[in-house]
Chains A and B, each alone.
Chain A
Amino acid sequence: MQAASESQPSGPKPQPTGEVLIEAKGLCKSFGPVVAVDQVSFQVRRGELVGFLGPNGAGKSTTMRMLTGYLNPDGGEAVLGGIPASKVEARRILGYLPEHTPLHREMRVDRFLGLVATLRGMRGAPRKDAMARVLDSCDLAGYETRRIHTLSKGYRQRVGLAQALISDPDVLVLDEPTSGLDPREIVRVRDLVARLARDKTVLVSTHVLPEVEDVCQRVLIIAGGRLVADGTPEALAGSVGKRLVLEVNGAGDSARLAETLLALDGVEEVAQVASLRGGELRLEVRVCDPLLVLEPLRTVLLESGATLLELRHELPTLEQVFMEHTAGVRETQP
Chain B
Amino acid sequence: MRQVLAITGRELRAAFESPVAYATILIFVLVSAGLFYLVGMPIGGMPLPSLWEGGEASLVVLLAWMPLSLGLLVPALCMGSWTEERRAGTEELFLTFPLRASQLVLGKFLAHTVIVSLLLLLTVLPIAWTVETLGDLDRGTALVGLLGAMLLGAAYVSLALLVSACATDPLVAFLLSALLLLGLWLVRMVVELFPADLAESIDGLTPGAHFMGSAVRGVLDGGDVLYGLTLICAALLLNTWVVEGRRER
Q: Give residues in A with beta carbon < 8 Å to B.
A: 31, 65, 68-72, 86, 88-89, 91-92, 94, 96, 98, 100, 102-107, 111, 115-116, 118-121, 123, 163
- State which residues 1-17 of B face A: CB under 8 Å: 2-3, 6-7, 9-10, 13-14, 17
B99 to chain A, nearest CB (A): 6
Q: Are A106 and B14 within 8 A (Cβ)?
A: yes
In the complex, what's the smallest C-beta–C-beta distance from A24 to chain B, in angstroms? 16
- From the candidates B3, B18, B100, B247, name the one contacting A118 in the complex (CB within 8 A): B3
**Contact A119–B94 (Cβ < 8 Å):** yes
> In the complex, given contacts A102-B93, A106-B17, A118-B2, what are 17 additional A-B residue pairs having Cβ atoms less than 8 angstroms apart?
A70-B95, A71-B248, A71-B249, A88-B98, A91-B97, A102-B88, A103-B90, A106-B14, A107-B10, A107-B13, A115-B6, A115-B9, A119-B7, A119-B97, A120-B98, A121-B3, A123-B2
Q: Are B248 and A121 neighbours in the complex by a CB distance under 8 Å?
A: no
A102 engages B17 (CB within 8 Å): no
Closest residue on chain A to residue B86 by CB atoms: A102
Which residues in A have their C-beta under 8 angstroms from that of B7?
119
Decide yes or no: A70 and B98 within 8 Å by CB, A86-B247, A119-B3 being known contacts.
Answer: no
**B6 close to A91 (CB less than 8 A):** no
Alpha-carbon separation in the docked complex, A51 to B98 (Å): 25
Query: Are B2 and A70 in contact, CB atoms less than 8 angstroms apart?
Result: no
CA distance A123 to B10 in the complex (A): 16
**Cβ contact within 8 Å between A88 and B100:** yes
Residues in A whose Cβ lies below 8 Å from that of B95: 69-70
- A174 to chain B minimum Cβ distance, whole angstroms, is 12
A102 to B96, CA, bound (A): 12
Contacts of B93 in A (CB 8 A): 96, 98, 102-103, 163
Are the C-beta atoms of A69 and B248 separated by less than 8 Å?
Answer: no
- Chain B residues with CB under 8 Å of A121's CB are 3, 98
Min CB distance, B165 to chain A, in Å?
16
| Count class of interface residues, chain B | 20 to 34
Q: Which residues does chain A contribute within 8 Å of B98, judged by CB atoms?
A: 88-89, 91-92, 120-121
Tell me, in angstroms, the Cα distance from A91 to B97 when the chains sit together.
6
Q: Which residue of B lies closest to A123 (CB)?
A: B2
29 inter-chain pairs at a CB distance below 8 angstroms, sorted by A residue, are A65-B92, A68-B96, A69-B95, A69-B247, A70-B95, A70-B247, A71-B247, A71-B248, A72-B248, A91-B96, A91-B97, A92-B98, A96-B93, A98-B89, A98-B93, A102-B92, A102-B93, A103-B88, A103-B93, A104-B10, A105-B88, A106-B17, A111-B13, A115-B10, A116-B97, A118-B2, A118-B3, A119-B94, A123-B2
Nearest Cβ on chain A to B96's Cβ, whole angstroms: 4
Contact of A120 with B97 at beta-carbon distance under 8 Å, contacts A102-B89, A115-B6 already known: yes
Nearest to A71 among chain B residues (CB) is B247
Contact B249 A104 (CB under 8 A): no
With A115-B6, A118-B3, A119-B6: A70-B97 Cβ-Cβ less than 8 Å: no
Shortest Cβ distance from residue A170 to the other chain B in the assembled complex, whole angstroms: 13
CA distance A31 to B96 in the complex (A): 20
CA distance A280 to B34 in the complex (A): 93
Provide the residues of chain B in CB contact with A94, threshold 8 Å. 96
* B-side contacts of A72, CB under 8 Å: 247-248
Residue of A nearest to B245 (CB): A72
Task: Write the nearest CB–CB distance from A234 to chain B, whole angstroms.
Answer: 33
Query: In the complex the two chains form, what is the Cα distance from A123 to B2 in whole Å?
Result: 9
A276 CB to nearest B CB, Å: 46
List B contacts of A115 (CB < 8 A): 6, 9-10
What's the Cα separation between A88 and B3 when bound, in Å?
13
Given known contacts A69-B95, A88-B98, is B14 in contact with A102 (CB within 8 Å)?
no
Distance in Å from the Cβ of A126 to the closest Cβ of chain B?
14
Contact A102 B247, CB 8 Å, known A70-B95, A118-B6, A119-B6: no
Chain A CB within 10 Å, residue with most, of B10, B14, B18, B93: B93
Nearest Cβ on chain A to B71's Cβ, whole angstroms: 27
**Assembly CA distance A123 to B6 (angstroms):** 11
Instruction: Decide: B10 and A69 in contact? CB cutoff 8 A.
Output: no
Contact B99 A88 (CB under 8 A): yes
Give CA–CA (A105, B93) in the complex, Å: 13
A69, A111, A119, most chain B CB atoms within 10 A: A119
Give bound CA distance, A89 to B249, whole Å.
Answer: 22
Q: Would you give the 0/1 interface string for B1-45, flagging 1 where the beta carbon is closer than 8 Å to chain A?
A: 011001101100110011000000000000000000000000000
Q: Which residues in chain B, 53-107, are within 8 Å of chain A measured between CB atoms?
A: 88-90, 92-100
Q: Evaluate contact between B247 and A104: CB separation under 8 angstroms.
A: no
The 6 closest A-B pairs by CB, nearest first: A102-B89, A118-B6, A68-B96, A72-B247, A91-B98, A92-B98
B contact residues around A86 at 8 Å (CB): 247
